[in-house]
Amino acid sequence: MRGADYVIKRVAFALLTVFIAVTINFALFRLAPGTAVTNLARVPHATPETRLALKREFGLDKSKLDQYFIYLKQLSRGNLGISFENSQPVRDNLKTALINTIPMVLLGTLFAIVIGTITGVLAAWRRGTAAEGASVTTALAFYSMPTHWLGLMLVILFAGTLPTGGMTNDFLINPSFWQHFKDLVAHITLPALTLGLVLFGEYTLIVRSAMLETLSEDYILTARAKGLRPAAILRMHALRNAMLPIATLIALSLGYIVAGAILVETVFSWPGIGRAVYDAVLARDYPMLQGAFLVLTVSVVFFNLVADLLYFKLDPRITE
């Protein structure tokens, strides 16, 4: 019963968090100065009647409370609203942006997880050696680099080798599947590498810290005294018992995949959700911003819930 209570409480807490985030998400953008029709005040042919008609079309003439209940009603039906900028459904805009963003950010995140875990384990296992110094120094160096600066450096280094802008080659007419796939891989390499290099240092430090704590436990000393091979001790005892903080970090990283990477997408002209959010901020496109942040909130809460449920699997003692 304790396990069932734990799961129910975590799911209920996740749903409550989403509801609170939806409410804050709605109110936050209404506190910003101006509206979607503010810029029309500087347009000569934008009469007061035109601005009023646009306010009525987008529901901006209603009170904030009425707008909030309308928003919740539409949200319950899966309708995220209509974009102020292009009059298209927000859901369709986000779908297109997410399809472009997720492969790039996922590739960079997986690179960071794999490389960061390997270097973190190496730094902890070879504590006090040159291997640890090289691993930690390299991780800290990349982790401290501004994302846009690193992206620009990679553009300079690989400008003649790999594509440095956009998602596809516009001059590739009627490509086959493999031609399109190779072109996409070539374009995705630099932005994904930029993101991965900046993120892997975080994994290196967290994994190293968790591993050092685990390696100092008595059961590791017992395993060594039994004559177990170092690889077996590392894999079956040390790494497995250090998985709780690592699982948390991985869950957070996967949750933020849908947020995109505004700086990376800007440097490499990648048409993802980061650029879409940036454009929506400039246009005061409330429905687009609300939809993007709602998707991000649900994603983060969901993967945190997954991490909580994994804790129960990795360490049943948390229900005690």
Structure tokens at 23: 């409410």
CA distance 143 to 150: 10
Could you please report the per-residue DSSP string of 1-46?
Answer: -HHHHHHHHHHHHHHHHHHHHHHHHHHHHHSSSS-TTGGGGGSTT-
Give the tokens for residue 292: 């993007």
Residue 289, class by beta-carbon neighbours within 10 Å (0-12 exposed, 13-18 middle, 19+ buried)? buried
pTM for the full predicted model: 0.74
Q: What is the pLDDT of residue 33?
A: 62
Closest among 196, 206, 113 to 147, alpha carbons compared: 196
| Dihedrals phi, psi of 213, to nearest 5 degrees | -65, -40
CATH code given to domain 2-319 = 1.10.3720.10
Task: Give me 83's structure tokens.
Answer: 């974009």
| Segment-wise mean pLDDT, segments of 10 residues, the chain, 320 residues | 73 86 78 60 59 66 76 78 78 86 88 89 84 88 88 88 81 80 88 89 87 80 80 76 76 71 83 82 78 83 81 63
Per-domain boundaries in the chain: 2-319
Q: What does the DSSP 8-state code read for residue 258?
A: G
Q: Residues 199-216, buried b or exposed e (16+ Cβ, 10 A)?
A: bbbbbbbbbbebbbebbe
| pLDDT on residue 162 | 86
Q: How far apart are CA 70 and CA 310, in angstroms?
A: 37
Contact criterion met (CB below 8 Å) for 291 and 91 = yes
Cβ contact 164:266 at 8 Å: no
In a 3-state reduction of DSSP, which class is residue 254?
helix
